[in-house]
Chain A
């Protein structure tokens, strides 16, 4: 019944040899000659999203180009289930020589805070950060509100009457509603959903005044002029959507930090860390990868290991604080 993109199963992304259709499936991860070789010859990127999900797509784009940069072969492995808990165990108990790396989003942080997975944040560390996923405020085309500022002014004039859509209750989008309420001193009703698609219907059919979500999920609606973006929770305007003003420009100083990065087990090989720190800046300059970043409306937010660790510590603390303040968990 859930329409969420959380999917059912883990699968090895590598094509079992006997089933590949000859000539149609190409291997894309052979390293080029003459590049530095990573501490280990083969790297597996673990994602907790299933094939086709956010982290999975990102991993597959990365392994198109990273092998040439790092001089290794690479594969993506989906270790889904238990909201990232299983992937965390896999990383925490796996080798630390550089051969297993976890593609992260805030999901596993929230899972670690909200339940007691066998292996939690104390067993992991951020390796580097790569992107932020900007969050947009969106309305249907018929909406009278042309900007987020207008939307908020209307909300102030009618306290408690506006309904703002967000996805899962534990998702960052839901927290953004609370943050906007606090920052703009308005009172709106947050309506949670089982996923982005679910929310989209209710924005489109007018059950909600607006919704918060990601560009990728609504691109089709934007092109068809059924939906408008009226603000983005980002420090600057996003290259993919230059006409959409930031929330900060519109007087609400809130930035969403939905990060996409890499994490590893503690005691991860220092040589491997250095190699990743060198490789990611090269990766985001590869033209084909750059195109993908723009198309996906991602924002470059590369952070080296120490910086990423500090960022993660801040992020974890703020999540803990939020969950405790809202009474979602008493732990931590």
Chain B
């Protein structure tokens, strides 16, 4: 296979290795800083690549993408702040483990899961780029709508405690997503003439607010935590542990492959779906939300897999599936490469060079992660008043950097207050995150589908992919309804003879 020899030449003869390393480190740092999303990390690196050989430049940018998708999990676990959108699902159990003093274990799990997921994604990209590309093309607007709906249906299971409240915060999330230009007519909604709101509210601003700022506000009144037993080093999972987590790993990667190749869905949805599925298929679903290793492995494997497979539509069609790959695409154009079906035929040296660089970046991620994580753990074990204050400054700085906007900082603080109140009133916030992320996708694809069908709703069931996804969605919701309402009632009925119902 000539591809292998091209890959070998690229790796040994050029700047590929240092470029991959540099891109990776840059990506991890950018991804780990709150507010600096994967796409921003890549955009920041882009100007540095001018003047580089195109293959080296793209290796560097793609390695930064790999690093950023992983790096986002570090603050998600250590300070409950998803560094990137797709790390939001990791923040749930990751931060729980951190609070239990199991930071090193959580970070080790996310590093290993991320590396494995990343490698699976790259190998899928290398082996199956063409058949996977056809999946992307088969996705019509009704299918995208149903995919979005499937993502939203996770709300039903993510709203621990109260499904009604979960639906309420999910709806609030969708309302937040409705700010900005209408997807069909372009009329601006709920912007009240503010240019700051013209482009809508960025999900990362909402997430940092309801995760991080809310956490800081409620921590302010809590007594200093006891960290005497806390791990101070990263603790890698043993092979036996990994084997026991194989189901979550595979679920995450499987969903990641699928979400990566369908443009527009992306790592965040993949992470949430995987979290949900891992919980459903877990032997210990009750541990989810309380620091379950599976709950870290599944979403991290998923979003790192997406980093690889998202390159399928980007490279084979020139269609970016996310903001990050859009910038990668811009990078390719800047370096005179035209992504599209011909790329593989016209520039095999470039394609295989990039593949080998990506494999390298994923392998490097492991040692680099181990080196970076220990000081990170040390940092978050500083005295509480200091730690919280620096985190507050870091978070507010990161949010400003998203768009150079103090308005965004104020918005983030507002969402922090909202998150604080949600916690006080017992509202789950994950449904809100899903609503914010999926609102625009669901609405615009719904209306696009109807425009295409001439107003006929039948299009959602005549499109086979859409139909399949809708059925999956219905099954998911009814399963959740069953486990939330019917099963406890039945159990209670069975238990009644011994002890009277308490609820």
Contacts and interface: CB of A to CB of B under 8 A. Distances in A.
Nearest to A208: B452
A6 B199 contact: yes
Interface string A149-183: 00000000000110100001110001000000000
A328 B186 contact: yes
Given A51-B330, A220-B340, A7 B451 contact: no
A197 B263 contact: yes
B342 A220 contact: yes
A24 B47 CA distance: 12
B260 to A, nearest CB: 14
Contacts of A81: 199, 403-405
A223 to B, nearest CB: 5
A169 B330 contact: no
Contacts of A192: 183-184, 186, 444, 448
B187 interface: yes
Interface stretch (B315-323, B410-418, B424-432): B315-323
B175 to A, nearest CB: 16
B192 to A, nearest CB: 9
B319 A200 contact: yes
A86 B183 CA distance: 22
Nearest to A81: B403
Nearest to A8: B40
A6 B440 CA distance: 15
Interface stretch (A13-21, A98-106, A124-132, A304-312): A13-21
A270 interface: no
Given A168-B186, A191-B451, A204-B137, A223 B342 contact: yes
B58 to A, nearest CB: 12
A3 B340 contact: no
B341 A52 contact: no
Contacts of B285: none
B437 interface: yes
A207 B140 CA distance: 7
Nearest to B332: A52
A193 interface: yes
A50 B403 CA distance: 11
A247 B138 CA distance: 31
Interface stretch (A33-41, A111-119, A250-258, A277-285): A111-119
A207 B320 contact: no
B22, B196, B338, B448: most-surrounded residue (chain A CB, <10 A) = B448
B94 to A, nearest CB: 24
22 contacts: A3-B326, A7-B43, A8-B39, A9-B43, A9-B44, A19-B48, A56-B330, A82-B196, A86-B195, A161-B454, A163-B452, A191-B448, A191-B452, A197-B320, A198-B263, A201-B263, A205-B138, A218-B318, A220-B317, A220-B318, A221-B341, A329-B187
Q: Which 4 A-B pairs have the closest CB atoms?
A: A220-B340, A52-B330, A169-B186, A224-B341
